[in-house]
Amino acid sequence: MRIPRYKILRKNGIYHVTNRVNRKEALFRNAFIKKVLEEALIQCKKKHKFELLNYEIMDNHIHLEIKPNEQIASLPVSMHWFFCVTAMRINKILKKATDRPPGRLWGDRYRCKLVRTVIQHIRTFFYIAENAVRAGIVDHPLEYEYGGLYRLFNGNHKGLLDPPPSWMWNHIVTYLDRYDLEKAKRVSKTLSFRSKKRSY
């Protein structure tokens, strides 16, 4: 049984949010669909005033690391807007392109984990950055266009991603200098939503 989200929401908290396409279909494989999701993130940020610390859009799921505004209830409100709006927009596109009948886009309610410490924030940031590597799509996080690390280093993150503070930049630079492909391919059981630890 999942614990209600209001019991884990914290003022100025940071959250790792993920959601998966219904039946794990690869409906986001098309680059245009990924750009629709990015545009919706920009609009959602502007509307609900949260910080997006990192993200990664995969073919059948999405990862977000979010710091909501000071209103504790803002995370459920903003995520409800984002997932409803993207479902409507993407269903409309898929119906025109493939004659796919409109239906449930997202498989379940989104999951979120409270990022409790600075160390957990650093690990979550890089866990998200390495999703495409673990999936075998690329060999390096900077090669994957639909993720936060790529956006930061290509200078096209404005309006989408909030630039990290200087201390986090130091960790990013060190991480890239010491990048280990084989290590990145191993899923971190402490950060994965597939672990036996309770998720919300």
CATH number assigned to the domain comprising residue 42: 3.30.70.1290
Q: Give the chain's end-to-end CA distance (angstroms, integer).
A: 9
Vertex 181 angle, CA 196 and 126, to 5°: 55
Q: What is the count of structural domains for the chain?
A: 1
Mean pLDDT by 10 residues, the chain (200 residues): 55 92 94 97 95 97 93 83 96 82 84 93 95 93 94 86 93 89 63 44
In a domain, 34, yes or no: yes
Q: What is the pTM of this model?
A: 0.85
CB 34 within 8 A of CB 28: yes
- State the residue range of the domain holding 19: 9-185
In a domain, 1, yes or no: no
Contacts of 167 (CB under 8 A, 6+ apart): none
The whole-angstrom separation of Cα 183 and Cα 66 is 25
